[in-house]
Amino acid sequence: MDKLESFRNYLKNCKSIISLCGAGLSASSGLPTFRGSGGLWKNYSSIDLATPDAFHTDAGLVWQFYTFRRHAALKAKPNNGHKALSKLSYLENINYLTLTQNVDNASRIAKHNPKKLLELHGNLFTLSCTNFMCTFKEEQNYNHPLTPALADCEDEFSEGSFQPVKEIPESELPHCPRCNTGLLRPGVVWFGEPLPLKVIDKVDEFLVKNDPINLILVIGTSQSVWPAAAYIDRVKQQGGKVAVFNTEIPDMETVENKNAKGEYQGWAFKGDAAITLPLALEALIGKI
């Protein structure tokens, strides 16, 4: 039995499925990934740009980085990989949950069932106030640019990786409309920050309530960021199988290890997730 047939046969009997998505899912929508060629972090390490210290040290640099990404995400269209997960999220006969590490909003634009989508690392279009006493938080703020000083920075980065264009004083950065004093920050989880407790609780609740999870779809992620990557082993510990959708699969054999009868114990589909994922899920969701 070939790999795709074996996966589709297993898929048809799954009661509980979870997905862990990464930047590779949005690559076909023109959004650069973080690592690998053309990656966002190519010219800067993530530590320079996606940490509270970086923001404290040079908020102007960090806001240019996030303005570049907001602008790119606003232009991006969801691809068939996003649409496949969106269709999967409305199936009534399956307990399903998408965990996305992506902050690009593409799954929401693809009309993913909001009850079955958890953004582990937040969202580029959420803004929150950094003033300790202020609780201002705004979701789905698509304004661009957020201030005049941030207006011209996106044109410089069309080649897909980030370069700052200028020094921007804090006074010209986005400020809180409620307390007027606090600097606004992007509503994403930076390195060194905990994932939102309510999100972690919802994942745990799903994993416990639907134990055993039959399958985790690991889509377009280098599995290098924690604790998100830990959910893969969590599902394996609960007896679930793993299907990887990635353009690079260094340990294909490990993922696909076969039992004595030569049956697949996992699957690795090498290629663009925008193509491989809809194809693999066709048995459940039909054609995209």
- Closest approach, Cβ 225 to ligand BV8, in A, equals 4
- Work out whether 45 is an interface residue with ligand BV8 (CB under 6 A): no
* Closer CB to ligand BV8, 82 or 116, in the complex: 82
User: Binding site annotation covers 153?
Assistant: no
- Residue 121: active-site member: yes
User: Binding site annotation covers 176?
Assistant: yes
* Closer CB to ligand BV8, 148 or 194, in the complex: 194
User: Binding site annotation covers 21?
Assistant: no
CA 268, CA 271: separation in Å to the nearest integer? 10
Binds ligand BV8 (CB under 6 A): choice among 17, 18, 27, 207: 27
Q: Which stretch binds ligand BV8 (CB under 6 A): 23-31, 142-150, 153-161, 254-262?
A: 23-31
- Closest approach, Cβ 13 to ligand BV8, in A, equals 26
Residue showing the smallest CB distance to ligand BV8 in the complex: 24
* Closer CB to ligand BV8, 50 or 149, in the complex: 50
User: Given 71, 82, 112, 121, which residue is catalytic?
Assistant: 121
* Closer CB to ligand BV8, 16 or 219, in the complex: 219
Question: Read out DSSP for the chain?
Answer: --HHHHHHHHHHT-SEEEEEE-GGGGGGGT---SSSTT-GGGSS-HHHHSSHHHHHH-HHHHHHHHHHHHHHHHH----HHHHHHHHHTT-TTSEEEEEE---S-HHHHTT--GGGEEETTEEEEEEEE--TT---EES----SSSSGGGGGGGGGGTTSS----S---GGGS-B-TTTSSSBEEEEE--TTSPPPHHHHHHHHHHHHHTPSP-EEEEES--S-STTTTHHHHHHHHTT-EEEEEES--TTHHHHT-B-TT--BSSEEEES-HHHHHHHHHHHHH---
- Work out whether 220 is an interface residue with ligand BV8 (CB under 6 A): yes
- Work out whether 250 is an interface residue with ligand BV8 (CB under 6 A): no
* Closer CB to ligand BV8, 39 or 160, in the complex: 39
- Closest approach, Cβ 220 to ligand BV8, in A, equals 4
- Work out whether 126 is an interface residue with ligand BV8 (CB under 6 A): no
Binds ligand BV8 (CB under 6 A): choice among 193, 204, 205, 233: 193
